[in-house]
Amino acid sequence: MTINDLLKKGIYILLENNISNPQLDVELLLSYTLNVDKVYIYTHRDEEVSNESVDNFLKLIDRRKQGYPLQYILKKQEFMGLDFCIEEGVLIPRQDTEVLVEKIINIVNNGHFKDRKVINIVDIGVGSGAISLSLVHYLEKAHVYSIDIDNKAIEITRKNSVRLGLEDKITLLKGNLFSPLTPLNLENKIDIIVSNPPYIPSQDIDTLQVEVAKYEPRKALDGGIDGLDFYRKIIPESIKYLRKDGVLAFEIGYNQGNEVANLIKESGSFKGVEVIKDLAGLDRAVLAYCNK
């Protein structure tokens, strides 16, 4: 079979199984199989493909048609202009989360922490390291304490930190929420606490697209009955660690802005609570400043 034959066959199979963006997926899977770029695919359409490569490609198409995420097959995902290694067991970084990261970068670049020699950041629920490593890549003075309860997340974040040359700007800590910080004597020393916690209501997870509901780690999605469990845990604990005027920043669900903002306000320890919307006009992040 030729490259063109495989392109057509792959697109047909994915279309038949209602996979979105079938052409792009097929191009990427075929490029991955042949270890070439997309330009090569389109400039060598008539090239014959070995039987082994045909078999390998069709196996990948079979996985993709079942909803298995493309990022887990390719083992990578771009985020904030950086390439991240991704494996099954960690949440796939999404462009929506860039809204949160860009807001934090803008706050720092606008001088909010201009007197700090080091900007200390805590990232709760590090996943692949997308938020942590993007922040330390773009913020010269930042150091991040990256926390996750999951071994796979710690492993993948460590791998990404080495690949990106950022391992000296990140401290990886395994444990639940703030518990790994206890022995580090960081009370009142943190400038920014950021988290993209599980925020999907438990009963809604199985209604999500199959790529998410079936294959992404449920513990990275499940925010309890109303999706707000982790905000309720993180907000009161954050007060102990944040400096005065330190920033608390969350990613949130598309309709959770008012609820999370109210939880922050009810703590009585924050000012300037702001709900940030994404390009589609949906709630995407909440940010506030510690006023203790």
Binding residues for substrate: 196-199
Detail the residues annotated as belonging to a binding site for S-adenosyl-L-methionine.
125-129, 148, 196
Q: Indicate if the alpha-carbon torsion angle 107, 249, 163, 60 is positive or negative.
A: negative
Detail the residues annotated as belonging to a binding site.
125-129, 148, 196-199
**Tokens at 79, concatenated:** 């985020």
Check residue 281 and report its DSSP letter: S
Q: Are 146 and 132 in contact (CB under 8 A)?
A: yes
Placement of tokens 């392109």 in the chain: 7
**How far apart, in whole angstroms, are the C-alpha atoms of residue 158 and residue 37?**
27
CA-CA distances (angstroms) from residue 61 to 4, 16, 259? Answer: 15, 12, 41
**Tokens at 59, concatenated:** 């196996």
Q: Give the distance between the most distant pair of CA atoms in the chain.
A: 68
